[in-house]
Chain A
């Protein structure tokens, strides 16, 4: 699904974020991406989302080389990727419905389809009753789930989540992870960047670990990770 080949990213000013990174997230797979802050997690996700371009090397999604995607094509390519953010990035002046509907409006769906799909997405994350609420009336966990609903509303085959549980307590975090697992069970590939090692430990998924811009442990499971020199970040 996502394949990195010798990907290096050097930012303007010489800061090297990624150094010859190779990894492969298989189709329909769910995996964690971890590492200290500054290790390059965000950069890696930005490369997948085409918010940055690699300095060298290649990124593939579903076999398509992202280097060949032109600037004009980027918006269309992004419609295949659902993105979830630490601070949910909902538009606070619009209702839950209008937030979740954005990707569908962009793609030009009919209003009847939009209503149906938004309801389905909100139902999946258990917030159908909050359809007409404004975001400021929701709790942190609920906001994050609305963010997930927006990411999955047009059923993308790939989900990227950047610290989706960063602002949540452990119980809520687990709840969010269950949503991801559920999506994964119907074939959506999920890549979750997090430094919440406790969370990773509780779930048995592939973990890609970045350290100073290099992929140090590719494909190790969470149990292996706990035995490593990695210290949990609280």
Chain B
């Protein structure tokens, strides 16, 4: 298609049949995408260094994400640790307490109950507190009898447990009940805080990825200034000129994302060994969750998107700026 010479035809140029044009459009994109791989291959060391920088920058937020994911999982198991302590009135004797116990056992929300008599409690207290003999000077056992109620998993969330507590408190034998989940709430608050911190840090690190790429692409553009001028002189559009740079940015992102994934996988393998000993001591089983396939895809998509963004910022500024001037 000629702008100044309407009668001029360029038979070999992209034809005007829409379908064919579209196909050619994609073929040309593919060519330029592959050409930009060649461009990276031309300077393998510096390309690889840039990719490594991106990979490490991406590995950190990914690791933090996994940290959150795993602590989230751990919290799930702790939620079940919600336990209700029911303190019985002083005048309730053993037989009455047993009755209460049996009644509570029948609650559908209750999984398990345990009775601790005041004598048992005192014995335990003597043993653990270290007051020992001093306590025998008391003329009366000051400790109440206690029923420990473990709710079913449905009612072990803070809200559900609290609801159950209200119900149990209505028993006439119960002086008052206590739900020991404040520590859980505190932990939740701390994890939430960490989460926010991790996201803030993540945003900063992702921003650094964009900036690193913008600068890399800027240098690449400036080093090819002569080529860009020539291309503009023979009629290349800005779109045409910037496309290889955008693809370069995407490739940087993809490979940076892969490096990040490898880094995180290595960290996980390393941590798993250390965690095994820790789990042994707590006599529980802790399984570290890694990146699943979806998360892996998100990581690669995100990193290539960031690569594109960095390149785009650079290209918008520099490719448009370069105009052939010094000579015709």
Binding site for B on A (CB under 8 A): 42, 45-46, 49, 51, 61-62, 64, 69, 72-73, 75-80, 83, 85-87, 89-91, 102-104, 106-110, 113-114, 117, 150, 154-155, 157, 160, 162, 193
Contact between chains at A110 and B12 (CB < 8 Å)? yes
Q: Mark B211-253, 1 if CB is under 8 A from A, else 0.
A: 0000000000000001101111111111010000000000000
Contact between chains at A79 and B234 (CB < 8 Å)? yes
Using Cβ atoms and an 8 Å threshold, which residues of chain A touch B325?
51
> What's the least CB distance linking B29 to chain A, in Å?
11
> What's the least CB distance linking A115 to chain B, in Å?
10
> What's the least CB distance linking B201 to chain A, in Å?
42
Chain A residue at smallest Cβ distance from B237: A75
Using Cβ atoms and an 8 Å threshold, which residues of chain A touch B17?
none
Binding site for A on B (CB under 8 A): 1-5, 8, 10-14, 24, 28, 226-227, 229-238, 240, 323-325, 327-328
Using Cβ atoms and an 8 Å threshold, which residues of chain B touch A61?
4
Contact between chains at A108 and B24 (CB < 8 Å)? yes
Using Cβ atoms and an 8 Å threshold, which residues of chain B touch A91?
226-227, 230
Using Cβ atoms and an 8 Å threshold, which residues of chain A touch B14?
107-109
Chain A residue at smallest Cβ distance from B239: A75
Contact between chains at B235 and A79 (CB < 8 Å)? yes
Using Cβ atoms and an 8 Å threshold, which residues of chain B touch A62?
4-5
A62-B4, A62-B5, A75-B237 known; A102+B231 contact, CB < 8 A: yes
Using Cβ atoms and an 8 Å threshold, which residues of chain A touch B230?
89-91, 102
Contact between chains at B3 and A77 (CB < 8 Å)? yes
A75-B236, A78-B233, A83-B233 known; A49+B3 contact, CB < 8 A: no
A80-B2, A107-B14 known; A49+B234 contact, CB < 8 A: no
Using Cβ atoms and an 8 Å threshold, which residues of chain B touch A64?
3-4
Contact between chains at A107 and B10 (CB < 8 Å)? yes
Chain B residue at smallest Cβ distance from A80: B4
A83-B234, A106-B236, A150-B234 known; A162+B328 contact, CB < 8 A: yes
Using Cβ atoms and an 8 Å threshold, which residues of chain A touch B8?
80, 157
Using Cβ atoms and an 8 Å threshold, which residues of chain B touch A155?
10
The docked-state distance in angstroms from the alpha carbon of A116 to that of B237 is: 24
What are 17 A-B interface contacts by the 8 Å CB criterion?
A69-B3, A76-B2, A76-B3, A78-B232, A79-B2, A80-B5, A87-B327, A89-B327, A91-B226, A107-B10, A107-B12, A107-B14, A109-B14, A117-B12, A150-B234, A155-B10, A160-B328
The docked-state distance in angstroms from the alpha carbon of A103 to that of B232 is: 10
Contact between chains at A103 and B327 (CB < 8 Å)? no
Using Cβ atoms and an 8 Å threshold, which residues of chain A touch B232?
75, 78
> What's the least CB distance linking A103 to chain B, in Å?
5
A107-B14, A157-B5 known; A49+B233 contact, CB < 8 A: yes
Contact between chains at A46 and B235 (CB < 8 Å)? no
Contact between chains at A108 and B13 (CB < 8 Å)? yes
A64-B4, A79-B234 known; A104+B12 contact, CB < 8 A: yes
The docked-state distance in angstroms from the alpha carbon of A66 to that of B3 is: 11
> What's the least CB distance linking A144 to chain B, in Å?
14
Chain A residue at smallest Cβ distance from B14: A108
Using Cβ atoms and an 8 Å threshold, which residues of chain A touch B226?
89, 91
> What's the least CB distance linking A164 to chain B, in Å?
10
Contact between chains at B327 and A162 (CB < 8 Å)? yes
Contact between chains at A106 and B240 (CB < 8 Å)? yes
A91-B230, A110-B12, A150-B234 known; A45+B328 contact, CB < 8 A: yes
Contact between chains at A75 and B235 (CB < 8 Å)? yes
The docked-state distance in angstroms from the alpha carbon of A90 to that of B233 is: 12
The docked-state distance in angstroms from the alpha carbon of A69 to that of B235 is: 14
20 additional contacts (CB under 8 A) given A51-B328, A76-B1, A106-B240 = A45-B328, A72-B237, A73-B3, A75-B236, A76-B235, A79-B2, A80-B8, A83-B234, A85-B327, A89-B226, A89-B229, A89-B327, A91-B226, A102-B234, A103-B235, A106-B231, A106-B234, A109-B12, A155-B10, A160-B328
> What's the least CB distance linking B232 to chain A, in Å?
7
The docked-state distance in angstroms from the alpha carbon of A150 to that of B230 is: 11
> What's the least CB distance linking A66 to chain B, in Å?
9
> What's the least CB distance linking A108 to chain B, in Å?
4
The docked-state distance in angstroms from the alpha carbon of A157 to that of B2 is: 11
Using Cβ atoms and an 8 Å threshold, which residues of chain A touch B238?
75
Using Cβ atoms and an 8 Å threshold, which residues of chain A touch B13?
107-109
The docked-state distance in angstroms from the alpha carbon of A64 to that of B6 is: 11
> What's the least CB distance linking B222 to chain A, in Å?
16
Using Cβ atoms and an 8 Å threshold, which residues of chain A touch B234?
78-79, 83, 102-103, 106, 150
Chain B residue at smallest Cβ distance from A162: B328
Contact between chains at B328 and A113 (CB < 8 Å)? no
Using Cβ atoms and an 8 Å threshold, which residues of chain A touch B2?
76, 79-80
8 Å CB contact of A49 from B229, B240, B328: B328
The docked-state distance in angstroms from the alpha carbon of A155 to that of B230 is: 18
The docked-state distance in angstroms from the alpha carbon of A46 to that of B232 is: 13
> What's the least CB distance linking A53 to chain B, in Å?
12
A77-B3, A80-B3, A108-B13 known; A89+B233 contact, CB < 8 A: yes
Using Cβ atoms and an 8 Å threshold, which residues of chain A touch B327?
42, 85-87, 89, 162
